[in-house]
Structure 1
Amino acid sequence: MTTFVEMLRNITPEVYASLKQAVEIGKWPDGRRLTQEQKELCMQAMIGWELENLPEEERTGFMGEQSCKSEKKTVPNILFSTKSDTLH
């Protein structure tokens, strides 16, 4: 396997499940703790695998019809305001 993409294509559903569990509990199946770098690589592999193998609503981070509470708030545009106390 010479590229990350090739590696993703060779991940089986069982390996994906193992990576997901490792990230969730912070440990490998043998009990060793994941390093921060290992967590990041596992998450990248999981998300890449999910893009090719799962429908959008089953992927990590999918929010569906939900929305962030901050989306409902109006955020003032302070950079281009006509008030004299702006930064521009």
Structure 2
Amino acid sequence: MDVSQLLKAMTPEVFERISTAVETGKWPDGTVLTANQRDSAMQAVMLYQSRHNSNAQHMTVAAGGEIKFKSKAELKRDFSTQGTLGESPEIARFEHDDI
């Protein structure tokens, strides 16, 4: 299968499943990826991101194929704007005995 066929066949849902498999090392049914499957899946994820990722996360492949590394300041800004309805995002805090 060539690159253009692969990209046409890969829907956002398929991308998410493959991406999760690469991250966890397992397919959705729990089967462990072989080294060859992991390498191929990782290449497919990077290829998909290089064509469709217009809002690159920290250390991802951005649209156009460039690897995007966000600075600490960019990450702080991104996290500070993720609250709902203008609220700042909350972090769950626990006392030692609560856990």
Which stretch has the larger CA shift, 55-64 or 20-29? 55-64
| Root-mean-square deviation (Å) | 1.8
- Give the Cα–Cα distance (whole angstroms) in 1 for the partners of residues 70 and 55 of structure 2: 9
Q: Deviations over 1:1-24 (max 9, x none)?
A: x41331122200000000010011
Instruction: Please identify which structure carries the higher strand content.
Output: 2
Aligned amino acid, residue 34 of structure 1: L
Gaps (5+ residues) in structure 2?
62-66, 73-99
- Give the Cα–Cα distance (whole angstroms) in 2 for the partners of residues 62 and 54 of structure 1: 10
- Give the Cα–Cα distance (whole angstroms) in 2 for the partners of residues 45 and 16 of structure 1: 8
- Give the Cα–Cα distance (whole angstroms) in 1 for the partners of residues 20 and 7 of structure 2: 17
- Give the Cα–Cα distance (whole angstroms) in 1 for the partners of residues 8 and 33 of structure 2: 23
Contact 1:16–1:49, Cα closer than 8 Å, also in 2: yes
Q: Which has the larger radius of gyration?
A: 1
The residue aligned with 1:82 is: none
* TM-score, structure 2 normalization: 0.57
Aligned amino acid, residue 64 of structure 1: K
- Give the Cα–Cα distance (whole angstroms) in 1 for the partners of residues 45 and 29 of structure 2: 20
State whether structure 2 residue 70 is matched by structure 1 residue 64: yes
Sequence identity (%): 31
- Give the Cα–Cα distance (whole angstroms) in 2 for the partners of residues 50 and 9 of structure 1: 13
What is the deviation of 1:46? 0.4
Query: Counterparts of 1:1-88 in structure 2 under 5 Å?
Result: 2-55=1-54, 57-58=56-57, 59-60=60-61, 62-65=68-71
